[in-house]
Amino acid sequence: MSGKAVFVYHPDLEKYYFKPEHPFNPTRLRITVSLLQELGLLKENDIVTPRLASMEELLLAHDQDYIRAVEKLSNNCFEEEGLFFGIGTEDNPAFSDMHWASSLVVGATLTAGEEIMEGRADHAVSIAGGLHHAGRRQASGFCIYNDINVAIRYLCHKYHIRVFYIDTDAHHGDGVQWEFYEDPNVLTVSFHESGRFLFPGTGWLNERGKKEGYGYCVNVPLEPFTDDNSFLECFREVVPPLIEAFQPDLIISQNGCDGHFYDSLTHINLSISAFQEIPRLVHQLAHAFSGGKWLAVGGGGYDPFRVVARAWVLLWAEAAGLNVKGNIPLSWQKKWQKISPCTVPQTLFDSPEVSLSVPRCQEIAEKNFRAASQAVQDTLIVLNKYI
């Protein structure tokens, strides 16, 4: 598949940093870029520097009093009023320059969208983006501003496009879902560990959108210990027919990699191979149905050395059409072993014997597949009726 890809990145994106010991550690961006460079997969001219999102742009998906509170808390992290907006909690502690750093993350996703819509690239990857939990006036799940919502609003308004959003983070993409819940121009699909077991507790089959947006919201809640085969079977059941029926102008994928079996925050049981196969499928679908237009953002991922770096190397390699080899350079291993709490990986893929064996995997797969079939059915009826 042909298609020019750009990588939107600047080291300042690491300033989106809550505090030491917080699970959302932006060093994962540097570790990923370092692995890409050591593998020879990322060249200087692949990289586009992100711009900062403006106040006007943030207002497309956030309320003014919320933005004002974030600004104020950026200078004084102890203001109690933050709690009203979900800031100052254990998940979302205030940090200095929070407004600036969060605006840069949003700006990175906006930059990625502009690169595509202005025709300078077919695919754009913004690994700092993917803050899918933030609401219009609510910080949630490590997310202050929702870069995806701002970007979708901005791009839809400026270019009059329809967007297909695919979220494969282990957590439900609630912030994006609720923002576009009544909007038939944005179809959101989220695959996630069932809300019975995992934050944010939503993403049920019966959340299907409202009013004109009915049918344009699809959720596939998955069982704990879902493996690659079951996850990909559900993905193939749902995503290709929906994209074909919806005919989007742009596909946006959220590529959280916290569904890996090493990730300590979730109970999904994917291997690194799944994080190669998911973008591969999205890439093919973009060339088949959206003129190649594909914007990929990052998301969750709390094991930076063993999971995030490898998963997002594979994401970029897929977007850029590059072949990857199995081994990780010794120089990268040596450099990062010094600060890694676990043994850093020697290969890009997991060896089969490392993955956890799951006793009930057939039962889990059957349950997941039933959910996927149900999830897609009603939406296909709606799409085929009106388009």
Give the integer Cα–Cα distance in Å for 170 and 257: 7
Nearer to Zn ion, 155 or 170 (CB): 170
Nearer to Zn ion, 225 or 289 (CB): 225
Rounded least distance, CB 249 to Zn ion, Å: 27
Amino acid at site 12: D
Nearer to Zn ion, 60 or 170 (CB): 170
Which residue is associated with the tokens 């679908």? Answer: 285
State the burial class of residue 93 (Cβ atoms within 10 Å of its Cβ: 0-12, 13-18, 19+).
middle
Site for Zn ion in 289-328 (CB under 5 A): 300
Among 179, 227, 228, 258, binds Zn ion (CB under 5 A): 258
228 part of the interface to Zn ion, by CB under 5 A:
no
Rounded to 5 degrees, what angle do the CA atoms 296, 297, 300 make?
A: 135
Residue 362 CA to chain centroid, in angstroms? Answer: 28
Rounded least distance, CB 294 to Zn ion, Å: 21
Amino acid at site 311: A
Give the residue nearest to Zn ion (CB).
Answer: 300
Site for Zn ion in 121-180 (CB under 5 A): 169-171
Nearest of 51, 29, 25 to residue 107 by alpha carbon: 51
Among 175, 213, 248, 256, binds Zn ion (CB under 5 A): 256
Residue 171 is among the residues annotated as catalytic for this protein: no
Give the integer Cα–Cα distance in Å for 69 and 99: 9
Nearer to Zn ion, 135 or 300 (CB): 300
In which order are the strands placed within the sheet that holds 47-48? 47-48, 5-8, 123-126, 294-297, 250-254, 163-167, 186-193, 217-222
Give the integer Cα–Cα distance in Å for 239 and 279: 12
Contact range with Zn ion by CB under 5 A, out of 159-167, 249-257, 276-284, 322-330: 249-257
In total, the chain counts a number of residues equal to: 387
Rounded least distance, CB 265 to Zn ion, Å: 7
Contact range with Zn ion by CB under 5 A, out of 45-53, 250-258, 352-360, 367-375: 250-258
Q: Looking at 10, 123, 133, 172, which residue is catalytic?
A: 172
- What are 69's two structure tokens? 């509170």
Residues 6+ apart with CB under 8 A from 7: 36, 42, 46, 47, 48, 124, 125, 127, 316, 320
Instruction: Tell me the number of residues near Zn ion by CB under 5 A.
Output: 6
Nearer to Zn ion, 26 or 300 (CB): 300
Please answer whether residues 223 and 252 qualify as being in contact, where contact means their C-beta atoms are separated by less than 8 angstroms.
no
Rounded least distance, CB 378 to Zn ion, Å: 26
Rounded least distance, CB 299 to Zn ion, Å: 6
3-state helix, strand, coil in the chain (%, to 5): 45, 10, 45
The gap between the terminal CA atoms of the chain, to the nearest Å, is 28
Rounded least distance, CB 359 to Zn ion, Å: 25
Rounded least distance, CB 311 to Zn ion, Å: 12
Contact range with Zn ion by CB under 5 A, out of 118-126, 146-154, 251-259, 348-356: 251-259
DSSP 223-243: -TT--HHHHHHHHHHHHHHHH
Rounded least distance, CB 308 to Zn ion, Å: 12
Handedness of CA 125, 128, 129, 132 (dihedral sign): positive
Give the integer Cα–Cα distance in Å for 277 and 70: 38
Residues carrying an active site annotation: 172
Binding stretches for Zn ion (CB under 5 A):
169-171, 256, 258, 300
